[in-house]
């Protein structure tokens, strides 16, 4: 197996685990996926990105902000419309930079199901990430979620 294929398979596995963690609502574990010092999580509209206006819809610029992002979800004190979400990651591409950082691009589709079991499309997006390799996994230094969907909930209560 070529090193490029091995890298892509490792990155795919990491992203699948990332999506499953969020689908399973294990929000307390989510901050552990990010580098503890400098990290960034952003949700941006594709329109802004395409126009060179990278103003995020929401953003976290430190590990503390990433932890705060899910703190109320972990405590169960955040009031929001509860939906079951299913994230599907596709078309994963990964490449190593000279400094060892892994640059990742992938498709993301998120479906939502309400308490009555009615399902609908929630988000169509792309992941644009930078990963730091660990011995047997990765940590996220940058996770940008670029959403194509304009009809998203403005609250974005749960991470994508």
For the ranges 31-45, 50-64, 77-91, 136-150, the lowest mean pLDDT is seen at: 77-91
Instruction: Round to whole Å and give the CA distance between 128 and 93.
Output: 10
Question: What is the DSSP annotation of 56-96?
Answer: -SEEE-SHHHHHHHHHHHHHT-------EEEEEEEEEEEEE
Cβ proximity of 41 and 66 under 8 Å: yes
Mean pLDDT of 21-26: 95
For residues 66-78, average pLDDT: 80
Out of 48-57, 102-111, 135-144, least confident range: 48-57
pLDDT of residue 115: 86
Domain ranges of the chain: 3-147
Q: Which fold has domain 3-147?
A: Nuclear Transport Factor 2; Chain: A, (3.10.450)
Report DSSP state, residue 112. Answer: E
pLDDT higher than 60, residue 12 = yes
Half-sphere CA count of 32, side-chain side, radius 13 A: 10
Q: If you average pLDDT over residues 107-116, what whole number do you get?
A: 92
Span 54-82, average pLDDT: 83
pTM of the model: 0.92
Selection from 154, 5, 30, 10 nearest residue 87 by Cα: 30
């Amino acid at each position: 197996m070529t090193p490029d294929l091995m890298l892509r398979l490792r990155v795919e596995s990491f992203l699948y685990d990332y999506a499953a963690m969020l689908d399973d609502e294990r929000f307390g574990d989510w901050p552990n996926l990010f580098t503890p010092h400098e990290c960034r999580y952003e949700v941006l509209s594709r329109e802004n990105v395409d126009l060179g206006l990278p103003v995020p819809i929401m953003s976290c610029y430190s590990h503390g902000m990433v932890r705060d992002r899910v703190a109320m979800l972990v405590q169960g004190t955040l009031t929001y419309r509860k939906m079951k979400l299913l994230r599907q990651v596709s078309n994963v591409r990964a490449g190593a930079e000279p400094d060892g950082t892994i640059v990742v691009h992938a498709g993301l589709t998120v479906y939502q199901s309400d308490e009555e079991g009615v399902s609908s499309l929630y988000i169509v997006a792309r992941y644009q990430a930078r990963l730091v390799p660990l011995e047997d996994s990765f940590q996220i230094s940058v996770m940008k979620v670029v959403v194509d969907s304009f009809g998203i909930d403005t609250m974005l209560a749960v991470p994508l």
